[in-house]
């Protein structure tokens, strides 16, 4: 059993979904996505949570140029595989009350994107990593440009130019590393063993960093994000925020810092400062938002800023916090965007000031909304708390003043999220909200799953942390040893 099963099943599924029409395409896509989740669960059941790579597939692809289809799963990759395979069926489930023109193409693109994401999260070959990186971008571009809002073309082109430009610069760094290897290979472990000078590593660091910072996005490379999240169809926004931005975070952990540790030592303090600035900036902008979907978009920038700060502090706590927070953020942000999709579908608006009193006419919806809000603001015993606590602890070890500012993500997050909830849910109904109907069917099922995950992960996160613990510890210790040698 190799990782190629996980990668190619969504491709086969996407091609099969193209044969269906309308609702049949929707049902087929959900069936295939659930099947992929079952396969991922099977891999998890056979996974040994040590620091090794398992289920490896390594076959010649273009051997003349040192390119191999080389992919495998360690504890870090397993977390990303679980994130992807768990959220894709949830995202498809949230679309069940929507009717899309050319539905078969819409759902096929989602499954194609899933395959690209899984390549990114399992690739052990630099060229394969780049192929997966671009393969995940193309489907989301078409999802946003064909099924997005009124300004979708302008916004999607900006998104594509931003991300594709960063990707090309990353490709140059990958080719450069390839040329430095004596064996002329793209193998990640040969990249790790290169003894490049500090100046060379600094340029490699910056080339990778630009691509990953745009994808996350990290301040000040974030300007494409709010408009894209707002104009994209809700499923597209969920794919972008729930999974795709984690490509950048994962890239930092797997490809950026290990390939350029000396570059990291030169630039990490500046990156942490940028991340902390992004937390405060995005939180303040979120407070001022009138559109609910746009508010959630800015809140996502703030949460990603904290994850980035924790990673660049480079401690076991920070990376473990990032692991569980990527999963938690994916669950929470999908829940928040689904909440606003339900509101917009029923009432035709996302303007917070036009709403109120919905809890009186839709108590089940109000309860689900409240649980998701509490997870997002990191209330203890919810999924958001564990990751944010570990990340803040990691930043604390770098600079006590920075952690004081970074902690604002929890305070300011509570301000804008709870104020939004109060405005939308509490008070008296008006002529618009009095017609709001409570959740039923697939809406209730999706929200129940999301709320259950928020509570379960918050109460008992240890099994999830155990998956990545050995891989994270080995990676941090290996690089810390290199840092120590350099100081000597």
How many CB atoms sit inside 10 A of residue 348's CB?
10
Check residue 378 and give left, alpha or beta (phi > 0: left; psi -120 to 50: alpha).
left
Average pLDDT over residues 305-310: 90
pTM score, two decimals? 0.92
What's the average model confidence in pLDDT over 267-289?
A: 89
The predicted structure's pLDDT at residue 488: 44
Binning pLDDT at 50, 70 and 90, where does residue 364 land? very high
Q: Taken in order 252, 386, 325, 13, is the CA torsion positive or negative? A: positive
Q: What are phi and psi of 388, to 5 degrees?
A: -65, -35
Does 415 score more than 90 pLDDT?
A: no
pLDDT digit string, tens, across residues 241-253: 899 989 999 999 9
Q: Which residue has the higher pLDDT, 10 or 479?
A: 10
> What pLDDT does residue 13 have?
95
Distance, in Å, from the CA atom of 374 to the CA atom of 383, rounded to the nearest integer, reads 9
Q: Which residue has the higher pLDDT, 224 or 26?
A: 26
pLDDT recorded at residue 84: 95
Average pLDDT over residues 290-317: 89
Range with lowest mean pLDDT among 152-156, 319-323, 406-410, 420-424? 406-410
Higher model confidence: residue 152 or residue 215?
Answer: 215
**Mean pLDDT across 40-54:** 92
Contact 123, 69 (CB under 8 A): no
Q: How many beta carbons lie within 10 A of that of residue 377, not counting itself?
A: 24
Confidence of residue 202 (pLDDT cuts 50, 70, 90): very high
Tell me: the pLDDT tens digits for 366-378? 999 999 999 998 8
pLDDT tens column, 380-396: 999 989 988 898 888 88
> Of 369, 276, 376, whose CA–CA distance to 325 is shortest?
376
3-class SS letters over the chain = CCCHHHHHHHHHHHHHHCCCCHHHHHHHHHHHHHHHHHHHHHHHHHCCCCCCCEEEEEEEEEHHHCEEEEEEECHHHHHHHHHHHHHHHHHHHHCCCCCCCCHHHHHHHHHHHHHHHHHHHHECEHHHHHHHHHHHHHHHHHHHHHHCCCCHHHHHHHHHHHHHHHHHHHHHHHHHHHHHCCCCCCEHHHHHCCCCCHHHHHHHHHHHHHHHHHHCCCCCCCCCHHHHHHHCCHHHHHHHHHHHHHHHHHHHHHHHCCCCHHHHHHHHHHHHHHHHHHHHHHHHHHHCCCEHHHHHHHHHHHHHHHHHHHHHCCCHHHHHHHHHHHHHHHHHHHHHHHHHHHHHHHHCCCEHHHCCCHHHHCHHHHHHHHHHHHHHCCCCCCHHHHHHHHHHHHHHCCCHHHHHHHCHHHHHHHHHHHHHHHHHHCCCCCCCHHHCCCCCHHHHHHHHHHHHHHHHHHHCCHHHHHHHHHHHHHHHHHHHHHHHHHHC
pLDDT for the residue 483: 59
Query: Is the pLDDT at 344 greater than 70, yes or no?
Result: yes
d(CA 34, CA 335): 18
pLDDT digits (tens, 9 = 90+) for 116-145: 999 999 999 999 999 999 999 899 889 988
Give me the mean pLDDT over the 281-300 stretch.
89
| Residue 418: Cβ-neighbour burial (10 angstroms; 0-12, 13-18, 19+) | middle
Do the Cβ atoms of 188 and 256 come closer than 8 Å? no
The predicted pLDDT at position 485 comes to 53
Asked whether the predicted pLDDT for residue 359 surpasses 60, the reply is yes
pLDDT digits (tens, 9 = 90+) for 218-230: 888 777 878 888 8
Look at residue 160 in the predicted model and tell me its pLDDT. 83
At 146 the pLDDT is 86
pLDDT at 228: 84
Question: Tokens for 264?
Answer: 């990291």
Q: According to the model, what pLDDT value does residue 481 have?
A: 62
The per-residue pLDDT for 384 is 87
According to the model, what pLDDT value does residue 457 have? 94
């Amino acid at each position: 059993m190799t990782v190629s099963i996980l990668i190619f099943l969504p491709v086969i599924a996407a091609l099969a979904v193209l044969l269906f029409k309308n609702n049949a395409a929707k049902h087929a896509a959900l069936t295939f996505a659930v099947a992929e989740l079952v396969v991922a669960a099977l891999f998890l059941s056979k996974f040994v949570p040590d620091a090794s790579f398992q289920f490896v597939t390594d076959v010649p692809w273009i051997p003349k140029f040192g390119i191999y289809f080389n992919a495998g799963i360690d504890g870090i990759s397993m977390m990303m595989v679980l994130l992807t395979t768990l959220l894709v069926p949830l995202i498809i489930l949230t679309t069940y009350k929507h009717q899309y023109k050319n539905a078969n193409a819409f759902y096929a693109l989602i499954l194609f994107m899933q395959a690209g994401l899984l390549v990114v999260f399992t690739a052990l070959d630099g060229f394969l990593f780049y192929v997966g990186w671009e393969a995940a971008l193309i489907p989301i571009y078409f999802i946003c440009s064909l099924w997005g809002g009124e300004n979708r073309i302008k916004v999607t082109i900006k998104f594509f130019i931003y991300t594709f430009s960063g990707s090309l610069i990353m490709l140059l760094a990958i080719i450069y590393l390839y040329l430095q290897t004596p064996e002329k290979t793209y193998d990640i472990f040969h990249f790790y063993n290169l003894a490049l000078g500090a100046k060379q590593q600094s340029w490699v660091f910056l080339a990778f960093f630009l691509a990953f910072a745009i994808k996350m996005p990290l301040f000040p490379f974030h300007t494409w994000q709010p408009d894209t999240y707002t104009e994209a169809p809700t499923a597209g926004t969920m794919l972008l925020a729930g999974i795709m931005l984690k490509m950048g975070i994962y890239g930092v952990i797997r490809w950026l810092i290990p390939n350029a540790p000396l570059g990291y030592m030169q630039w990490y303090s500046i990156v942490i400062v940028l991340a902390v600035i992004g937390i405060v900036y995005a939180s303040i902008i979120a407070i001022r938002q009138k559109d609910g979907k746009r508010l959630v978009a800015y809140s996502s920038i703030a949460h990603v800023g904290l994850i980035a700060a924790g990673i660049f502090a480079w401690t076991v706590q920070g990376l473990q916090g990032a692991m569980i927070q990527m999963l938690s953020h994916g669950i929470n942000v999908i829940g928040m965007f689904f909440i606003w999709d339900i509101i917009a579908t029923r009432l035709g608006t996302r303007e917070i000031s036009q709403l109120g009193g919905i809890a009186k006419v839709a108590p089940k919806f109000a309860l689900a909304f409240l649980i998701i809000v509490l997870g997002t603001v990191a209330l203890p015993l919810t999924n958001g708390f564990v990751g944010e606590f570990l990340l803040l602890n990691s930043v604390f070890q770098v600079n006590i003043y920075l952690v004081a500012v970074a902690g604002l993500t929890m305070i300011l997050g509570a301000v804008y999220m709870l104020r939004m909830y109060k405005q939308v849910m509490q008070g008296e109904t008006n002529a618009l909200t009095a017609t709001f109907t409570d959740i039923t069917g697939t809406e209730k099922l999706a929200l129940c799953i999301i709320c259950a995950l928020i509570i379960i992960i918050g109460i008992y996160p240890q099994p999830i942390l155990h998956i990545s613990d050995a891989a994270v510890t080995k990676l941090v210790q290996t690089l810390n040893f290199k840092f120590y040698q350099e100081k000597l």
